[in-house]
Structure 1
Amino acid sequence: MSEFDVFLAHNSLDKPLIQKIYDELQKRGIKPWLDEVEICPGDNFQFMIRKAIKAARTAAICIGQNELGKWQELETQTFVSLAVQQSVRIIPVLLPGVEKIPESAFALDNFHAVKFGETLNNQQAFDLLEWGITGKKPELPWKISGLEDPSPEPEKICQEFDPTKILFIKNVKDPSGCWAYRLKGVREDKAPVFELMWRSSAHGSGSPKAGDLMILHQQAKVTHVVEFLDDEVRKMDFGFLRWVKAVWIPRQQDWYQLPHQKEILGFSPKYSDGNTHDFRSPNFSTFRNAWTSLSDFQHYVADELKKLDNI
């Protein structure tokens, strides 16, 4: 048996999902081992599994909603032993619908997991899985602020968003000093979908709910209004991620020429922490000092953004 890149240990009940993972890894130039592909009719199943485990560079222990199968439990025990003896890398893979490693697989708690979330249509999960298998860190555009529509298809842009949904504001920053989330190739009839990031030290990533709107500002300019697409918060080593779509971005090409944020907001935020700030919070003093009515503020912002689009 020739050496392969990753052994896909899985419960047979999860076979359709594993086949899709197998296909995606092959497209990325990775050589996975999957029993139904590699075991010839008439082969001794147990013997071939043991042989494959010995030839493995990496093991992806795929955990679905049915948890570990009987064969998978034995494979996992063997790989955990090999991780100590031969430095075989183990990657727990949480399939759609699985939020954490189950108690039945407690031995995997010591290994950094890859989590797919709700579906397998998750580009950053595959990027992380590729990194774990190959040991080569790929370019991770979803980890940096200028993401260009990573996975979901962009939807028609909502020109007339509901201003009463504007409930949050957040300061964003690109580490390079450029504009964060300056999405490439944006068409006016499309709403770009991307992942908004919070650093590990930031707070409030889970506060907005699906449908809520958040204002993003940076370098003293308002640059986005985004709508949260779901309630899921994905925890990564570097921080937290949420799927959003931009329902408003400036049409003006030179963002440095945008008006100061105070003109759009009616006040100037006194923070740059990357936290989620809720306009309804009694502790948001700079907002409270400028506005006594949240509704007045929401409609004021919507009107100012419309004026800006018409310039």
Structure 2
Amino acid sequence: MDSENTIFFSYSRDDSEFVLDLAKNLRQAGAKIWLDQLDIKPGARWDSSIEKALAKSKTLLVVLSEASVISHNVMDEVSYALEENKAVVPILMEKCEIPFRLRRLQYADFSGDYKTGVKTLIDALNLDKEVAKNLADVTTDKPAKPIKKKEERITQPPHDSEKPQNFIQDKNNQKPPKTWLVESIIVTLFCCLPLGIVGIINATKVESRFYAGDLKEANRYSADAKKWTTISFWTGLVIWVLYIFAVASGIVNEY
């Protein structure tokens, strides 16, 4: 992916219809865009693919709506882009409370007329003349109002912090997997520092993935945290036993 001018889409899944339509228009016009629903290959891990694409992209295009402004994942992507000095271009899809960190940025307004939104987007993205002309041409037949959001949920993995429907229904009966955070910290302090740190890193991701609705990933991080914590414990124990044996045998001095 060409990071010099690739545009990364950050959005809420609730706005997928609008986002897909706009992304396809931009790509058809000649702009280089990256959108998870269009560019993640079958079998690829969604989280790692999104992270790599965001890191390589120069511009983040964040679609603002009532759903996206309360999405932790969308706001995390915005924060990362700002911290990495990437260009951040907000799109106001509908009237909503614009996050403080984005209020001073020029945004494209699609909350009223679609064609007017395209014009402001061209200016905000600073598209070259050919791409801008092509984008204006491919949107000439678009409706005056933005595409209305679908009521039903998308069944693909969530890009934002919205929980899958089955997770919402069962959340009161579910608890996050064991994090192993306390155990990994203890073995890191008293046993084996490098391996324990790996356990801590995995442990800190368990609850965040669970509350993001990704139970599969939460279980994976929990299992990895347990694995590295266990490895660290037994490695440290073996080292201590060997050390005590060496001291007792006079192979090494205790002090």
TM-score (norm 2): 0.47
TM-score (norm 1): 0.39
Higher relative contact order (CA 8 A, sep 6+): 2
Where is the strand percentage greater, Structure 1 or Structure 2? 1
